[in-house]
Amino acid sequence: MAQPRGRRRLATLSILLLAALTLLAIGGPLRTVASKAARAAVSPFVAVVHGVTRPIGEAIAGMFNYGDVVAQNHVLSQELTQLHQQEVANEYQQHQLRDLLALERLPYVGALPTVTAQLTAQNVSNFAATIEIDKGTSSGVLDGMPVVGGGGLVGLVTSATQGGATVTLVTDASSSVGVTFGHGNTGVLHGQGPGRQLALNFVAPGIPVHAGQHLFTNGLQGGLYPGGIPVGTIERTKTPRGSTQQSIAAVPIANLDGLAYVDVVLWEPGS
């Protein structure tokens, strides 16, 4: 029963649409009436067409807007990247400034002349630890000169050319520094490789040693370093049964992992 009724309704709408179009064609006084009738007859079809075409139009508009959104996101992404790069650059510059300011306050160097140098490379392996600096013999830097940082002793110049030098760090397995601590006690601080603790040797059992104690270059005649430069801090100590010396571990005072600038002390052994 629903289908014949639907067909009759469709036929009636078709007749009304045809009549409205005919009245529009007549013109004259009937045009106003025809226009109203036409709008009334056509409106259901317009509504249907509008309902179908509106989502399509919105989708097309969305396609154009999507392109704008992608472009804006790209611009924002570039701006965020630039801001991040600037932040990293600022952090690096602040780090360098801290290193330079720290080198201005080295009371343990005293009146000894120094040359400030910038790191150009860092060489680390299982047992070797060296850095390259941008000052050499043309700046007065020679083999055997001590190198210090904000915290203390960094190492020793072991090879110098006209425009640069190699510095062997105190953590290098070949490094050996004569130190003093407490009330005139002495020992020799040996490097054991990057990332490893320093070993303080030749300290007899019974000599008072405790964690947190600082070690300084002893400045003995013929030593490799002038006296009074901070070298390390004792972390632990024990005396194995029957041993002729204590087993003492220490760490460097200078922050060797975050170096940017160092000072070369223009001092030679025997000076």
**Rounded-to-5 percentages of helix, strand, coil across the chain:** 40, 25, 35
Per-residue pLDDT of the chain (271 residues; tens, 9 = 90+): 555 555 565 555 556 555 555 544 555 444 454 455 445 544 554 454 455 455 555 555 555 566 677 777 777 777 777 766 666 555 655 555 565 555 665 788 888 999 999 999 999 888 899 999 999 999 999 999 999 997 899 999 999 999 999 999 999 999 999 999 998 999 999 999 998 999 999 999 999 999 999 999 999 877 889 999 999 999 999 999 889 999 999 999 999 988 899 999 999 887 6
Would you state the structure tokens that stand for residue 43, as one six-digit string?
């409106």
Which uninterrupted H or E stretch holds 6? helix 2-26
Residues linked to residue 230 through DSSP beta bridges, in sequence order: 216
What is the pLDDT, as a whole number, of residue 258?
80
What is the pLDDT, as a whole number, of residue 6?
55
What is the pLDDT, as a whole number, of residue 257?
86
What is the pLDDT, as a whole number, of residue 102?
57
| Pairwise CA distance, residues 265 & 159, whole Å | 15
Contacts for 78-86: CB closer than 8 Å, 24+ residues apart: none
What is the pLDDT, as a whole number, of residue 99?
57
| Pairwise CA distance, residues 166 & 160, whole Å | 6
Give the contacts of 261 (CB within 8 A, at least 6 positions apart): 96, 99, 100, 103, 116, 117, 118, 119, 149
What is the pLDDT, as a whole number, of residue 64?
56
- CA 248 to chain CA centroid, nearest Å: 35
